[in-house]
Amino acid sequence: MAARLRDDLPDPLTQSRTRPLFVMRLDVQPLQIVGAAPGVYRRIGVVRGGSFDGERLSGEVLEGSSDWQALRSDGSTTLDVRLVLKTTDSALIGMTYRGIRHGPPDVTARLEKGEVVDPAMYYFRMAPFLETASAEYGEPRWPAPRSAMMTDVPRPPIPCPFVYADGRQCTGVIRRARAYGPIGRDGAVARSKVRKYRLWCSEKDDHAGVVASFEAKQRMEFYPDQLEPGVEDQLWSGGLLI
């Protein structure tokens, strides 16, 4: 019997070894819905910016990157993303990735609403490629991962800061946040210029006095000095601002 193709595979190819490269958070504008074009339902997320943080590679994601998504007839979503990363020492890295997300309809619906979902409940993988002209991060001085494997990391829940008149803390978590203040040249509100936050909370109880209904959830407004520093920090680092 002829040898099987998989026999005599060299050891390095019998198992893959990976270690975390970085965790990345993107601040994405509300999706631009192109809609049902022939052959594809297209929507596009424009990236305002973001950050990435790892032992070997950290920095910021530059404004103007984009995420072209296609909703497919089997309920899955594919991604086609182009990003420019700027490392803490100012090297630029081009990063592209294709990705696919698929899961039960109820789980997908929760993800679309921005809820935190256990990553084991759905499939989401991205295959990035990175390229740089930097002597520091390119071959051969730095073992640059020219390709890698990615998945999403659940966002830690941000507790609702609302305190009821009887002193009880709301047990909900923040679903969405928006910052209001003078818009800078880049079209975004700088953190130091924020005059007011509007937060949306998962709790359906009545936030007495500041209630307005939004998709059956509650929203509230806070001045920056009314928020615990920890909550404000998480709003920014969590990439929740839209």
Residue numbers at the binding site for Zn ion (CB under 5 A):
160, 162, 170, 172, 201, 203
Of 34, 35, 112, 22, the residue nearest 61 (C-alpha): 22
Comparing CB distances to Zn ion, the nearer of 31 and 210 is 210
* DSSP characters over 78-96: EEEEEEEEEETT--EEEEE
Of 124, 70, 128, the residue nearest 97 (C-alpha): 128
What minimum distance in Å lies between the beta carbon of 78 and Zn ion?
A: 35
Pairing of strands 174-180, 123-132: unpaired
Comparing CB distances to Zn ion, the nearer of 101 and 175 is 175
Comparing CB distances to Zn ion, the nearer of 45 and 161 is 161
What minimum distance in Å lies between the beta carbon of 203 and Zn ion?
A: 4
List CB contacts of 169: < 8 A, sequence separation 6 or more.
Answer: 159, 160, 162, 163
* Cβ neighbour number for residue 90 with a 10 Å cutoff: 9
Of 81, 70, 76, the residue nearest 28 (C-alpha): 81
What minimum distance in Å lies between the beta carbon of 216 and Zn ion?
A: 13
What minimum distance in Å lies between the beta carbon of 213 and Zn ion?
A: 14
What minimum distance in Å lies between the beta carbon of 23 and Zn ion?
A: 27
- 3-class secondary structure, 185: coil
What minimum distance in Å lies between the beta carbon of 45 and Zn ion?
A: 27
Comparing CB distances to Zn ion, the nearer of 159 and 224 is 159
Pairing of strands 196-201, 213-214: unpaired
Comparing CB distances to Zn ion, the nearer of 86 and 198 is 198
- 3-class secondary structure, 239: coil
Bond into 140 cis (ω within 30): yes
Comparing CB distances to Zn ion, the nearer of 70 and 173 is 173
